[in-house]
Structure 1
């Protein structure tokens, strides 16, 4: 592979595929060779815009091609497991849009396929690659916060429910804001905490605003009659080391800002605020010691996650978002949904 480009095939031509195509196109040592989608017209449009030479009739024919090294799965959540496993079984490495899958059982099946075939598997958790996240992670790796015993993480929007079939219907997405945006901030929080050993979760998953007669979204027309996903979720997670994390996410929340995403971590030595990149501590001389991490502008995180995965494939190194960590994230989110149904705390299986 060192003497030729890494060849990419895309399964999916929806909205996020454009971002992925831009990301792959920026890499001199990668080339897009094929794309497929159930909507043939959408696939043809992506192929035309990004000079992709081949449009396949199905995912099955795409993964069977001998001239593809990596399959990028950018389809509704419900199909992540099926297409990813098919690609790995056909000898392809897989980059899959978040969430990696919808349940712990599905992620375990994907990990098993990766281990059996020796092919790499990674969820495209792009928020790990934001400049703020990378700067904060680098700082606290060199300057530990001590015992991180509590954290808060939230990702809330105001009247910004995505009004496309891939987001409004459980049969396609497997959930609403929790599985769509909650997965982002939860993964980032665990990454900064360096803690992927959850033991239990309790939470709520509610649809309080999206089906109201007067409900509306800035992002399209809500199908109020058939929408069956939550527009708000919140949870409380306990970890094996005694730490805890609160999680909150929404598409429709009645708040001042149209969008807020934040993580606060509290350690025995210092605390941090993300994405502000602020650090808070005290001194023995009764002083408050606060600081702010500054960083230079960088590449778009969606593109960086693609570049990082490509480097791991070409260099045969561990992927920067190990699927074992995605397993912890999905276990928590699945547990939160179960807690809503049972009305009680859910004990999670060990990874």
Structure 2
């Protein structure tokens, strides 16, 4: 059996904790090469996972593989993805897709021109609960979605490693790093309707206070210049609205809160844990699933879907145009926070910009 040859660009935590181990379990691929700007990190990853080749540049790596997984800081996603696609290489890029919607659009154009697969690693879509919720929504179990409520909250868990608090390299903090996952999931569940207006507020007050407790290591509170808490309100062309709250540092009782709930005109659902909520015979019901099919580790079906798409056997679950929408909304939330005004989101029939 001919195996799909894959390379890793960026040898940090997400590559070594998720992508490389997952790919090594798959009998249809080989991990042929790794590149990192930090050659010591590349060598460490190669040694740990028995990756045959350490490359001197990502351009050099393209000649050794048919597909790549991009695990670099966000700033380099677009540059490397576009170069890979034009080199004839399929791309699975870590989230978020890019720093800006303009960069994301350029990535999509490169994919269309070259005919190569471009997918973004929004792995929450591949969770069992998410797949069950998608089936329920698509089957009409809740009717037309009206209101979506999204919470992605952590209690004092600012990532103290890597470059997560570097705005130049990452583009932001809790929203672009963490909240993007559940934002993407919620948009996918309701069919990615066109957003029309976004209002948002971002904060970084907590993480700038000296001596704050942080469960995920030390960071420089003086240099901290990204968001650690964000709220957003999104309106869509079809009348649906979405309320979003995300945080690395929330003062909540729980360690983590991850919630996506959708209210429709016939019923509602909660994703974590999966539950259908409806009325019948003059009574109210909540139906929580006793068992859900699928993998416990969403990285496994995510990798398989990318492999299948590269081999022409399946459509991508995460389409780049949908990932672009996430970037557009994140961009608009930050813009709204900076301006103090609502932001109109660009569509084919509408010019974007601040609303009066």
- TM-score tier by shorter-chain length is over 0.9
Indicate how the Cα distance of structure 1 residues 312 and 297 shifts in structure 2: closer, same or farther if over 3 A, else same. closer
SS at match of 1:112: helix
1:228 corresponds to which residue? 225
Equivalenced residue count is 346
SS at match of 1:318: coil
Contact residue 20 and residue 303 of structure 1 kept, 8 A: no
> What is the alpha-carbon distance in structure 1 between the residues aligned to residue 259 and residue 31 of structure 2?
35
Note the C-alpha offset of 1:60.
Answer: 2.1
Normalising by structure 2, what TM-score? 0.94
Which of these residues, 237, 241, 246, is aligned with residue 238 of structure 2?
241
Long gaps (5+) in structure 1: none
1:51 corresponds to which residue? 50
Normalising by structure 1, what TM-score? 0.96
Contact residue 216 and residue 222 of structure 1 kept, 8 A: no
Q: Deviation string for 1:158-192 (max 9, x for gaps)?
A: 01000124201101111000001111000011111
Q: Does 1:271 align with 2:268?
A: yes
Note the C-alpha offset of 1:96.
Answer: 0.1
Q: Does 1:191 align with 2:188?
A: yes
Note the C-alpha offset of 1:195.
Answer: 2.6
Q: What pairs up with 1:175-324 in 2 under 5 angstroms?
A: 175-283=172-280, 285-293=281-289, 294-296=291-293, 298-324=295-321
Q: Does 1:113 align with 2:110?
A: yes
Q: Deviation string for 1:271-299 (max 9, x for gaps)?
A: 0011111111112x311122112314624
SS at match of 1:38: coil
Indicate how the Cα distance of structure 1 residues 239 and 323 shifts in structure 2: closer, same or farther if over 3 A, else same. same
> What is the alpha-carbon distance in structure 2 between the residues aligned to residue 74 and residue 155 of structure 1?
22
Note the C-alpha offset of 1:196.
Answer: 3.4
Which of these residues, 322, 327, 335, is aligned with residue 338 of structure 1?
335
Structure 1 segments, 4+ long, off by >6 Å, are: none
1:4 corresponds to which residue? 2
> What is the alpha-carbon distance in structure 1 between the residues aligned to residue 65 and residue 219 of structure 2?
39
Q: Which segment drifts farther, 120-129 or 188-197?
A: 188-197
Contact residue 78 and residue 173 of structure 1 kept, 8 A: yes
SS at match of 2:208: coil
Contact residue 202 and residue 337 of structure 2 kept, 8 A: yes
SS at match of 2:159: coil
Note the C-alpha offset of 1:78.
Answer: 0.7
1:74 corresponds to which residue? 71
> What is the alpha-carbon distance in structure 1 between the residues aligned to residue 256 and residue 232 of structure 2?
19
Contact residue 193 and residue 238 of structure 2 kept, 8 A: no
> What is the alpha-carbon distance in structure 1 between the residues aligned to residue 233 and residue 219 of structure 2?
29
Note the C-alpha offset of 1:315.
Answer: 2.3
> What is the alpha-carbon distance in structure 2 between the residues aligned to residue 350 and residue 297 of structure 1?
35
Q: Deviation string for 1:57-83 (max 9, x for gaps)?
A: 1212112x1x31101100111110011
1:16 corresponds to which residue? 14
SS at match of 1:135: helix
Which of these residues, 329, 344, 349, is aligned with residue 346 of structure 2?
349
Contact residue 91 and residue 117 of structure 1 kept, 8 A: yes
Q: Which segment drifts farther, 237-246 or 162-171?
A: 162-171
Long gaps (5+) in structure 2: 349-356
Q: Deviation string for 1:204-263 (max 9, x for gaps)?
A: 011020010121311111111212101000100000001100011000000001111001
Contact residue 152 and residue 264 of structure 1 kept, 8 A: yes
> What is the alpha-carbon distance in structure 1 between the residues aligned to residue 298 and residue 159 of structure 2?
21
